[in-house]
Amino acid sequence: MFKQQGKKALNCATGLAFYNLLLIGVYPAISRSKAMSELSATLPNSVKRIFGVTSGSGLDRFESYVSSQCFGQVWLLVMGTYTISTADALIAKLVDQGAMAYLLSSPVGRLELLSTQVGVLVSGLALMIGLSEVGIWGEMSLFDIPIEVGPYLRLGVLEFALFLAVGAYSLFFSAMFKAEEHAMLCSASLTFLFYALDVFSGLNDQFSWVKDLTILGWVQPQEVLDGAVPNDRIVALFGFSAIFITLAGLIFGKKDLHI
């Protein structure tokens, strides 16, 4: 199972690494560009917020640039798509297509099987995020951009916790629905809702409290790269994941499987 999903993770991570290589490659030119400094200075904070810049600084700072570009919308989209589709493929797709009948015809319990699938999801996410981080470090050393490794490691753990949470509720929907497309629809809709709330919370200071209602709002890459230690958020996201994985186990352990 990991062999199949791992290949997908490796392909996505390689694609992201090349994308980041491109972004980091143009950073020295951007940071020296006066026009870019002026442009980023004139952008309202709400707009910068949408692009992942949270401390009011310009896009010409490397931390702002990395958080807005390397861990920005494209990265979120690829990671979100990978996480949701993998969670869907690990249970709902196998049940819907009938291949789960072979796995469950063996003397392996349903919870044991679910634990294996969670392991596949976790290792895939670790591979994706690990390769993204290693890629960024490698590319930064390639272009002689000095960085502190600690904050990047903390960000990696926080992003891992975030996507584990996305994977956990996606697994929950995957275990709950009979049809694969229903599971996928619910997972994607909830993720989009979280994203929309995160964007909405940045539009105006009056709505900043909305940030706490969405797990995407719990992850502010630039704050972490600037030195914040987000242990409480990491613990909260792991707790969130544990709840949904437990619920997925309760449902999958007892549901009728028409396979």
Partner 1 sequence: MINVEGVTKLYPSNKSKTKEKENQGVRGISDITLRVVEGEAFGLLGPNGAGKTTLIRHLMGFIKPDAGFAQIHGLDCWQDSRAVKSLVSYLPGEMNFFEQMSGLEFLILMSGMHGDQPIFQKRRNVLAERLDLKLKQPIRKMSKGMKQKLGIIYALMLDSKVLILDEPTSGLDPLMQKVFIELVLEEKTQGKTILISSHMFPEVERTCDRVGIIRAGELITVEGIQKIRQAQQQTFEITLEDAEQVQLLSEQGLVITSQKGNRLSVAIQGDINPLLSGLAQVKVKEFTQKTTELEEAFMHFYEGEGGI
Least distance from partner 1 to the Cβ atom of residue 185, Å? 19
Q: Which is nearer to partner 1, 42 or 106 (CB)?
A: 106
Who contacts 98 (Cβ-Cβ below 8 Å, separation ≥6)?
259
Q: Are 71 and 52 in contact (CB under 8 A)?
A: yes
Q: Are 179 and 96 in contact (CB under 8 A)?
A: yes
Q: Which is nearer to partner 1, 34 or 258 (CB)?
A: 258
Least distance from partner 1 to the Cβ atom of residue 55, Å? 45
Give the C-alpha distances (Å, rounded to integers) separating 146 from 31, 129, 142: 14, 21, 10
Q: Give CA–CA dist 84/97, Å, rounded.
A: 18
Provide the H-helix boundaries in 33-109. 34-42, 45-50, 62-65, 73-90, 92-97, 100-104
**108 is a contact residue toward partner 1 (CB under 8 A):** yes
Q: Which is nearer to partner 1, 109 or 239 (CB)?
A: 109
Least distance from partner 1 to the Cβ atom of residue 120, Å? 13
Q: Which is nearer to partner 1, 5 or 214 (CB)?
A: 5
**Termini Cα distance of the chain:** 19
Q: Which is nearer to partner 1, 102 or 192 (CB)?
A: 102
SS3 of 129-192: the string is: HHHHHHHHHHHHHHCCCCCCHHHHHHHHHHHHHHHHHHHHHHHHHHHHCCCHHHHHHHHHHHHH
The span of 15-23, 38-46, 67-75, 249-257 binding partner 1 (CB under 8 A) equals: 249-257
Q: Which is nearer to partner 1, 180 or 223 (CB)?
A: 180
Least distance from partner 1 to the Cβ atom of residue 7, Å? 8
**109 is a contact residue toward partner 1 (CB under 8 A):** yes
Q: Which is nearer to partner 1, 8 or 211 (CB)?
A: 8
For 231, the 3-state DSSP assignment is helix
Least distance from partner 1 to the Cβ atom of residue 6, Å? 12
Least distance from partner 1 to the Cβ atom of residue 114, Å? 14
Q: How many CB atoms lie within 10 A of CB 142?
A: 11
Binding mask 67-106 vs partner 1 (x if CB under 8 A, - otherwise)?
A: ------------------------------xxx-xxxxxx
For 16, the 3-state DSSP assignment is helix
**257 is a contact residue toward partner 1 (CB under 8 A):** yes
Contacting residues toward partner 1, per CB under 8 A: 4, 97-99, 101-109, 254, 256-259
